[in-house]
Amino acid sequence: AMRSKLRRQLRLLVDITCMPKSYLLLLMGLGFRADFFSKFDCLYSPGTYDLVSSNTATSTTPLRRRGLTSEGEWRSVQIPYFLTERYISSHTDVFVSVGGEIGLTLPFIQRMEPRSVFLAFISESAPSGEREMHRAERLAYDELRVEPNVNELSVPLCDALGVAALAMKASTHSTSDSLVGVALGSKSHAIGLGLAAIGSTNIELICRSPSRYLSIDVKPRGDLHIYEIRDRFNPAAYLLSS
């Protein structure tokens, strides 16, 4: 209705700090693929998470798997406007932006039975032999590393363009029917996956829906990031006023 009233595409500013990644990607897909937006700006204030304390991964029972912010089995959620003809086909490569719940990420990926897996960790907290980790998370990470089809990548927390570039590269070199982008990491990395999917015909996006979210206190990191996403082929994206 607003688009019809203005007789032009919309320019939108949204605070995505507490917005679910599935909603964020839905907005991006609807806005740019359905030609509603000429410009979509996002405000993001990252938080700090404790990846080591007993708050994470305290149970090994399948029905009570526990992560940093969620508990129980994850279901996959397809993002409209980012679908391909072959949803998670038998010949699929998977690109995952990884957060801090490796123990829950592992079975989520395994259910897709991917041919190749690209894991984009947040470089500030990427697991390694030297970094302190929760025991259950360490076990899950070690299990991931022994898989022959897993490729580890590292991207700064707020580097959306870095994730977009890596996902596009993976898509270009993939011989699979499609590349499935799985948005599990930061909101910035989800933006990167959205950008890659908008610019590609064989990238589809999914998010997770856990059995239950946990109530945790997330302190702000103290910095604010602004992402300006514009339709380069729409002159209205560069006008300050209509």
- Beta-sheet strands, E only, within 45-187: 47-48, 70-71, 75-78, 92-97, 116-122, 150-155, 178-183
The whole-number pLDDT of residue 6 equals 65
Q: Residue 89 — very low, low, confident or very high, per pLDDT cuts 50/70/90? A: low
The whole-number pLDDT of residue 238 equals 62
**Predicted TM-score (pTM) of this structure:** 0.86
pLDDT tens-digit series, residues 192-238? 999 999 988 889 999 998 888 777 788 889 999 999 999 877 766 66
pLDDT tens-digit series, residues 29-78? 999 998 889 999 999 999 887 767 645 544 444 445 667 778 788 999 99
The whole-number pLDDT of residue 87 equals 55
Whose tokens are 């580890």? That residue is 152
Distance (Å, rounded) from C-alpha 140 to C-alpha 206? Answer: 22
Cβ-contact 101, 197 below 8 angstroms: no
In terms of Cβ atoms closer than 10 Å to its own Cβ (0-12, 13-18, 19+), residue 156 is middle
The whole-number pLDDT of residue 125 equals 85
Distance (Å, rounded) from C-alpha 158 to C-alpha 201? Answer: 25
